Amino acid sequence: MITDLKVSQAFQNDAAGMKLGLDLATSTEISRQIRPNSLTVNYDAGTKSYSVSADGWSQRFAPENIQSNANGETIYQKTGGTDRSYLTIATTPYTNSKSNQYVGLAFWQENAVSGTRQDMDFYIFTYGLPTSAATVPRSGVAGFRTDTFGAVSTPGQEPRSFQGQGDFSVDFAAGVFATHSYLNETTLVTDQGVSGGGIEFTGAGHLSSSSGTFSGNALMRAGLDRPPVLSPGASMAPMERNWVAPFRGRTGTV
């Protein structure tokens, strides 16, 4: 069970992320780089700690770093001078009270502040026990309720996070899927929000016939005068009953 780990694990994962340079005086983006090249996530059963690494970063989060732990969400924080490290582990969907069995969702963030500049490495990843190709259904249809989270950025503007609820449907016989979510946006520095029609995430694609993965295209229609964000070739893996996946686009991560 993903909520009651008894042995140490080196988890398989799917990850997306970005590195941002922010001007805190103007609340705007200075620089951006899509990440990660690769990410690892490990659990040490002896110390009950998680270790994550990507793009030269490596961090260990132990029980003494827990800031809150409720409703299937555990938030870790580590502090060093003006630097901050955060890890959020969610094993219960935000729109459901039933815990996942085989997969978790995580957010990892590294903040480094110097004067009015903040450099932020932000990763979203899923981890757990993937479904093998042999056990993926090849007939019938299924539908799932989804929670969508992500971030988008544009040079010279303030980066924004977004979240919302939606649905994911798959036709196993035809090998196709579609997903859609309505979203709310929030600015990352000034914490201003916007909601309403036209802010949405849409995706569609195919189920692999030789593995347990999906691939396709995704489009995020943003608010606050932002152009659509296209994520071509997005991929994700189903993980035993619990369906979660990161997408990576030109200007953001989902």
Q: Under a CB-based contact definition with an 8 Å cutoff, are residues 212 and 206 in contact?
A: no
Domain boundaries, the chain: 1-129, 130-247
* Predicted confidence (pLDDT) at residue 239 exceeds the cutoff of 70: no
Burial class, 122, CB count within 10 angstroms (exposed 0-12 / middle 13-18 / buried 19+)? buried
Q: Which long-range contacts (CB under 8 A, 24 or more apart) does 78-85 make?
A: 82/112, 82/113, 82/114, 83/110, 83/111, 83/112, 83/113, 84/109, 84/110, 84/111, 85/59, 85/61, 85/109, 85/110, 85/111
Q: Write down the pLDDT at residue 57.
A: 83
Class of domain 1-129: mainly beta
36 or 253, greater pLDDT: 36
Counting residues of the chain whose pLDDT is more than 70, the rounded percentage is 85
pLDDT, tens only, 49-58: 999 999 888 9
The mean pLDDT of the chain is: 82
CA–CA separation, 20 and 18 (whole Å): 6
Give CA–CA dist 167/208, Å, rounded: 20
- Contact between 95 and 165 under an 8 Å Cβ cutoff? The reply is yes
What confidence category does residue 93 fall into, taking pLDDT thresholds of 50, 70 and 90? confident
Q: Which residue has the higher pLDDT, 243 or 222?
A: 222
